[in-house]
Chains A and B, each alone.
Chain A
Amino acid sequence: MFDIEKSIAEWRRQMLAAGIKSPAPMEELEIHLREAVESQMRSGLDTPEAFETAVRQIGQTGALQTEFAKVGGTVYEQLKHLFRAMAGIPDYQLAANMNSSLQNFEPRWATYFKTIAFILPAIFLWVCCLVVALPKLKEMCEVSDTPVPKSIQTALVLSDLFKENFFVVSIPVVLALVLLEWRSRWWERRRRLVFGVAAFVLNSTVLVIITAMLVFAVIVGASLSRHFKS
């Protein structure tokens, strides 16, 4: 008895063995094969004949492999895909890795987990900075009579505002996320990008402010030593 599923699995194995590695074209080809088999059967062939004709029409494994190898070959293309993969922007190679409709984008838990893992060091640093470094810096400013620069002041005010209104800010964000996770198909594709950009912006901000504080501390330190000498 001819088993179409078995035959398709065997054909798939042969294609993979011939070197069509990426799942994307393979899946597209398999869908094509199934469609062709059905169409041949509608025109009166029995299943084995339909399968054989469809496989013949799809073509030789070797020739197909050569053609597929030409896709995504240039260094520029590879760099582009690498950049997109790193940035979490779904492009066709990522999109094409899907096994079923949208499943193969990074799973939800992974995105959340990674985002938290990436922003934790920044939050930790920021808290350390507020608790340990900032009082010292203020003290240094007072002793040496140097005003704290506007940019650092603004950052501190914003940070305080956020701390005081933590729930007012975070509840709408959490609600929006819940709503997006629940209803939006659009969100599923962009989740990783949005979180990636948010984590990047947050980390960069903390890094820039801490660097600014460090530079400022060095300057104040210098004037402080003058202060003590005089």
Chain B
Amino acid sequence: MYRSAMLTKELVAASTEPLVLSILSRGESYGYALIQEVKRLSGDKIEWTDGMLYPVLHRMEERGLIKSRWDESETGRKRKYYSLKKDGKRAMVRHHEQWSLVHGVLSGLQKEQYV
């Protein structure tokens, strides 16, 4: 489903939604910029198959997490901008809690191994 340099595709799939929500929580953005941003933040280690992002965005929109509007870019090109809705913000907080939990447990276990 996803092409990835370091992460397994299951992990990439599972992390797409929290990543998109978190980036959108900074302000509205569009498909291409979202992909570039994730690439940049992960040091090129999370690389989505570009086209796959759009169905994910559309599903999130259907579930009422985000909303979209068409507008024109500075260069006059049409773009579909996505932004966070209230439910999306809540979903993001939930994702953060869950990922932090997993992260906390894992790093605890990792420490044990080196003691």
Q: Which residues does A use to contact B, with CB under 8 Å?
A: 24-25, 27-29, 31-32, 34-36, 39, 57-59, 63-64, 67-68, 70-72, 77, 92, 95-96, 98, 100-102
Verify B51–A58 contact, CB threshold 8 A: yes
In the complex with contacts A77-B62, A92-B61, A101-B72, A59-B55 CB distance below 8 A: no
* Least CB distance, A82 to chain B, in whole angstroms: 14
Complex Cα gap A27–B77 (Å): 12
Q: Which of A34, A92, A101 contacts B68 (CB 8 A)?
A: A92
Verify A101–B55 contact, CB threshold 8 A: no
Q: Chain B 52-68 against A: per-residue CB contact (8 Å), 1 yes, 0 no? A: 10111011011000001
Verify A31–B79 contact, CB threshold 8 A: yes
In the complex with contacts A100-B78, A101-B78, A29-B62 CB distance below 8 A: no
In the complex with contacts A57-B49, A58-B50, A67-B77 CB distance below 8 A: no
Verify B79–A64 contact, CB threshold 8 A: no
Does B32 touch A at the CB level, under 8 Å? yes
Which A residues lie within 8 Å of B52 (CB)? 59, 63-64, 67
Does B80 touch A at the CB level, under 8 Å? yes
Does B31 touch A at the CB level, under 8 Å? yes
Verify B55–A28 contact, CB threshold 8 A: no
Verify B49–A68 contact, CB threshold 8 A: no
Which A residues lie within 8 Å of B78 (CB)? 27, 31, 100-101
* Least CB distance, A4 to chain B, in whole angstroms: 15
Chain B residue at smallest Cβ distance from A100: B78
* Least CB distance, B33 to chain A, in whole angstroms: 9
Number of interface residues of B (CB under 8 A): 23
Verify B50–A70 contact, CB threshold 8 A: no
Verify B62–A71 contact, CB threshold 8 A: yes
**Closest 7 pairs between A and B when the two form their complex, measured CB to CB:** A67-B55, A59-B49, A59-B51, A58-B51, A71-B58, A35-B32, A64-B51
* Least CB distance, A64 to chain B, in whole angstroms: 5
Q: Which of A70, A95, A98 contacts B55 (CB 8 A)?
A: A70
Verify A64–B55 contact, CB threshold 8 A: yes
Complex Cα gap A34–B31 (Å): 12
Of A25, A28, A39, A101, most B-chain CB atoms within 10 Å: A28
Complex Cα gap A39–B69 (Å): 23
Verify B61–A28 contact, CB threshold 8 A: no
- For window 56-94 of chain B, which residues contact chain A by CB distance below 8 Å? 56, 58-59, 61-62, 68-70, 72, 77-80
Complex Cα gap A25–B3 (Å): 20
Q: Give 14 CB contacts A-B under 8 Å.
A: A25-B58, A28-B54, A31-B79, A34-B77, A39-B32, A59-B49, A63-B1, A64-B51, A64-B52, A67-B52, A68-B58, A71-B55, A98-B70, A102-B70
